[in-house]
Structure 1
Amino acid sequence: MGLLIVSAGFLIVFDGMRSLELMPEILFGKLDDFALLSIPMFIIMGASIASTRAGADLYEALERWLTRIPGGLVISNLGACALFAAMSGSSPATCAAIGKMGIPEMRKRGYPDGVAAGSIAAGGTLGILIPPSVTMIVYGIATETSIGRLFLAGVIPGFLLVGLFMAWSLYSTWRSGDAAVLNAGSYTWKERFEILPRVLPFLAIILGVLYAMYGGIATPSETAAVGALLCLVIAMVIYKLWHPGAIWVVLRDSTKESVMILFIIAAAGVFSYMLSSLFITQSIAEWIGTLEVNRWVLMLCINIFLLIAGFFLPPVAVILMAAPILLPIILTAGFDPIWFAVVLTINMEIGLISPPVGLNLYVINGIAPDISLKTILTGSLPFVACMVLAIILLCLFPGLATWLPDVVMGTAV
Structure 2
Amino acid sequence: MDPLLLAAIVGIATTVVLFSGIPVGIGLLLVSLGFIIVFDGTGSLPLLPEILFGKLESFEVLAIPMFILMGAVVASSRAGGDLYSVLDRWLTRVPGGLVISNLGACAIFSALSGSSPATCAAIGKMGIPAMRERGFPDTVAAGSIAAGGTLGILIPPSVTMIVYGISTETSIGRLFLAGLLPGLMLTALFMAWSLYSTWRQGNAQGALSAVKYSWKEKFEILPRVLPFLVIIGAVLFALYGGVATPSETAGVGALFCLITAMIVYRMWKPGQLWHVMRDTTKESVMILLIIGAAGLFSYMLSSLFITQSIAQWISMLDVNRWVLMGFINIFLLISGFFLPPVAVILMSAPILLPVIINAGFDPYWFAVILTINMEIGLITPPVGLNLYVINGIAPDIRLQSILKGAFPYVLCMIAAIIILCFIPEIATWLPETVIGGR
Aligned pair 1:210/2:236, yes or no?
Answer: yes
Quick one: which of 350, 370, 378 aligns to 1:324?
350
Partner of 1:2: 27
Partner of 1:156: 181
Say if 2:73 and 2:258, in contact at 8 Å, map to a contact too.
yes
Counterparts in 2 of 1:135-214, with a 5 A limit?
Answer: 135-179=160-204, 181-182=206-207, 184-214=210-240
Please give the alpha-carbon distance, in whole angstroms, between the structure 2 residues aligned to 1:271 and 1:96. 32
Aligned pair 1:272/2:298, yes or no?
Answer: yes
Please give the alpha-carbon distance, in whole angstroms, between the structure 2 residues aligned to 1:180 and 1:350. 26
Say if 1:109 and 1:181, in contact at 8 Å, map to a contact too.
no
Partner of 1:231: 257
Say if 1:74 and 1:116, in contact at 8 Å, map to a contact too.
yes
Q: How has the CA–CA distance of structure 1 residues 195 and 286 changed in structure 2, closer, same or farther, with 3 Å as cutoff?
A: same
TM-score by structure 1 length? 0.97
Partner of 1:109: 134
Aligned pair 1:291/2:317, yes or no?
Answer: yes
Quick one: which of 322, 327, 331 aligns to 1:301?
327
The AA in structure 2 aligned to 1:45 is: M
Partner of 1:126: 151
Counterparts in 2 of 1:11-410, with a 5 A limit?
Answer: 11-179=36-204, 181-182=206-207, 184-410=210-436
The AA in structure 2 aligned to 1:4 is: L
Judge which range, 365-374 or 392-401, deviates more.
Answer: 365-374
Please give the alpha-carbon distance, in whole angstroms, between the structure 2 residues aligned to 1:329 and 1:17. 32
Cα deviation for residue 268 of structure 1 reads 0.9
Please give the alpha-carbon distance, in whole angstroms, between the structure 1 residues aligned to 2:265 and 2:71. 15
Cα deviation for residue 369 of structure 1 reads 2.5
| Matched residues, number | 412
Cα deviation for residue 180 of structure 1 reads 5.0
Unaligned runs of 5+ residues in structure 1 are none
Please give the alpha-carbon distance, in whole angstroms, between the structure 1 residues aligned to 2:241 and 2:39. 48
Say if 2:95 and 2:199, in contact at 8 Å, map to a contact too.
no
Say if 1:112 and 1:173, in contact at 8 Å, map to a contact too.
no
Please give the alpha-carbon distance, in whole angstroms, between the structure 2 residues aligned to 1:112 and 1:253. 32
Please give the alpha-carbon distance, in whole angstroms, between the structure 1 residues aligned to 2:229 and 2:429. 24
Say if 2:110 and 2:156, in contact at 8 Å, map to a contact too.
no
Deviation by residue 1:296-337 (Cα, 9 ceiling, x = unmatched): 111111111111111111111111111121112212222111
The AA in structure 1 aligned to 2:434 is: V
Please give the alpha-carbon distance, in whole angstroms, between the structure 2 residues aligned to 1:405 and 1:204. 22
TM-score by structure 2 length? 0.92
Q: Percent identity?
A: 75
Please give the alpha-carbon distance, in whole angstroms, between the structure 1 residues aligned to 2:55 and 2:318. 36
The AA in structure 2 aligned to 1:208 is: A
